[in-house]
Amino acid sequence: MITDEDFERYERDLPAALSSAVEGFPVPSSDLVARSLARGRQRRRARTLRRSALAVVLVAASIGGWAATYGGFGRSSSDSADRTRFTSAADVRRELVPYLMEALPREGC
């Protein structure tokens, strides 16, 4: 059981123990705050630059896609409509069958 004397001894010895523990740690450098502020500014600038670059890329891609789809590069919209028509299943079969026949072994499985 802990007595009042134990508590009093603990209260007397605690400040000395804490002081000796703190003495083992190095003192923080004098420019710690300035370096951390500079690092924070650098990180914010890098993050802003990355976000801006991403926004520019997205805008350029969407403008390029729009221009390619709607004839913004000197082509008429009928040219782009011809290029983007869907092929029928017969066209796909006619084109793929020769490739598949070459891929199969000649003797069979």
Among the listed residues 97, 59, 65, 61, the one whose alpha carbon sits nearest the alpha carbon of residue 84: 65
- Cα gap 14→21, rounded to integer Å: 11
Give the pLDDT score at 52. Answer: 94
The kind and range of the H/E element at 104 are none
Residue 73: phi and psi, rounded to 5, are -110, 35
**Segment 28-42, tens digit of pLDDT:** 888 999 999 999 999
Q: Which amino acid is at 59?
A: V
Give the pLDDT score at 73. Answer: 61
Ramachandran assignment for 3, one of left (phi > 0), alpha (psi -120 to 50 degrees), beta (any other): beta
Give the pLDDT score at 63. Answer: 86
**Segment 44-100, tens digit of pLDDT:** 999 999 999 999 999 998 888 887 777 666 655 555 555 555 567 777 777 777 777
**Segment 7-30, tens digit of pLDDT:** 899 999 999 888 888 888 888 888
Q: Summarize the chain as % helix, strand, coil (round to 5).
A: 75, 0, 25
Among the listed residues 72, 63, 69, the one whose alpha carbon sits nearest the alpha carbon of residue 81: 69
Q: Three-state SS string across 24-44, please?
A: CCCCCCCCHHHHHHHHHHHHH
Give the pLDDT score at 22. Answer: 86
